[in-house]
Amino acid sequence: MTSESGRTVADAPYVDWDARAAAFDDEPDHGLRDPEVREAWSDRLRTWLPEDPADLLDLGCGTGSMSLLAAGQGHRVTAVDLSPAMVERARAKLAGHDAVVLRGQAADPPVGERRFDVILVRHVLWTLPDPARVLRRWRDLLRPGGRFVLVEGVWGTLHPVGLSAGRLTALLEPLTAAPRVERLSGDPRLWGKDVDDERYVVIATV
């Protein structure tokens, strides 16, 4: 599948996430070990999430860094990842918090009849086949008034891959009210460095 963003899932390289898990948190925006980077994400997340404690579903949670921030802000977290090694790390990171980590498909999470106030997804949707279908499935997991918080981007300049904000908002428009895009490329604190590719979050309420 090709979009105006360049290349998307058909071109997404196969990634062995189990093999990547041990070093995943070494990237500043993955592990959030640097207090300045962690604070930058924490400050943004606080503005993206409801003020009151909410039921939050983090899909493709990786090692659980975003889930941990959300749990620290008082939200009840359910996190899902396909990679056993990622799940193991996320469980360790979230131990002692109001959080459960499940192994399963992000596109069809193993949550039964449960419904959520927030679906948080960072850097995963662009890799999933048929994002329009996936978003419809996710919409059905949200309670009325619930919201998507989707952090995505288009990476690289020579052979860019990812999902542009324009494409994602077009996919969300039939499902949500007025998706709002917040650009993230201009804030080096989030990435631990300057970046010049397209990085953004879309917040959209159903």
Ligand X SMILES: C[S@@+](CC[C@H](N)C(=O)[O-])C[C@H]1O[C@@H](n2cnc3c(N)ncnc32)[C@H](O)[C@@H]1O
Residue 20 to residues 139, 167, 181, 193, Cα–Cα distance (Å): 30, 28, 30, 21
In angstroms, give the least distance from the CB of 190 to ligand X: 11
Q: Is 81 in the site for ligand X (CB under 6 A)?
A: yes
Q: Is 106 in the site for ligand X (CB under 6 A)?
A: yes
Whose CB is nearest to ligand X?
62
Among 37, 45, 61, 70, the residue binding ligand X under the rule CB under 6 A is: 61
In angstroms, give the least distance from the CB of 61 to ligand X: 6
**Measured between alpha carbons, how far apart are the two ends of the chain, in Å?**
26
Residue closer to ligand X (CB basis): 16 or 52: 16
Q: Could you tell me the two tokens for 63?
A: 């090692």
Q: How many CA within 13 A on the CB side of residue 124?
A: 23
Among 83, 164, 169, 176, the residue binding ligand X under the rule CB under 6 A is: 83
Helix (H, G, I), strand (E, B) or coil at 139: helix
Give CA–CA dist 77/174, Å, rounded. Answer: 27
Residue closer to ligand X (CB basis): 61 or 161: 61
Give CA–CA dist 145/197, Å, rounded. Answer: 32
Among 38, 44, 123, 167, the residue binding ligand X under the rule CB under 6 A is: 123
Binding site for ligand X (CB under 6 A): 17, 30, 60-62, 65-66, 81-83, 86, 105-107, 122-124, 127-128
